[in-house]
Every structure is written in structure tokens, then in C-alpha cells.
Amino acid sequence: MEPRAQSIRLSIVQQALADIIERLAELPLTQDVRELRIQAAAYTRLVRAWDATPPTDETRSEMMKKLIDLNVKVIGLGQTGP
């Protein structure tokens, strides 16, 4: 894959994580929010490691699926309240 395409895809993942973390920061601190913050932090650490070792397309795709799932959970908490 072209380096530019890899860079764009990595940026998409990083932006998705940043958006999720921002939404979580806006929610009242509950046990559910705490757990989702821990999950987001773990994903952030994994993605940061991609700077040193770029992921495979499959790994990046799996992370996007995880981020979509996490985002749905965060949005759900925001809509229903704590």
C-alpha cells in the first residue's frame, strides 16, 4: 500500500479515537463511562504503536470495527444519560 494511503487511514483511526475520547470527557463520570475510557485508552496505546510498526490492512480494519462499536456505546450513553 502507498505510504500516503497508509497515512490517511491512520489519520482516520486517530481522529475517530480523538472524537470518542472527547465525547467521553463530556459525559458524567459513571462506572460505564469509566470502563469505556479505559477501553479507549487501550486502543490509543495500540494505535500509537503503529507509528513504529504499521498495522496490516486486516489489523486496521479490525480496529475500525472496534472503534465503531465503542462509538455506538458512547453515543448510547450520551442519549440515555448515566
- Distance separating the N- and C-terminal Cα atoms of the chain: 43
Within-domain flag for 19? yes
Within-domain flag for 22? yes
User: Hey, is 17 helix, strand or coil?
Assistant: helix
- Count of the separate structural domains present in the chain: 1
Q: What is the pLDDT of residue 8?
A: 83
User: Binning pLDDT at 50, 70 and 90, where does residue 6 land?
Assistant: low
Within-domain flag for 82? no
Contacts of 69 (CB under 8 A, 6+ apart): none
pTM across the whole model: 0.85
pLDDT tens across 15-62, in order? 999 999 999 999 999 999 999 999 999 999 999 999 888 899 899 999
Determine the structural domain holding residue 62 and report its residue range. 3-77
pLDDT of 3 over the 70 cut: no
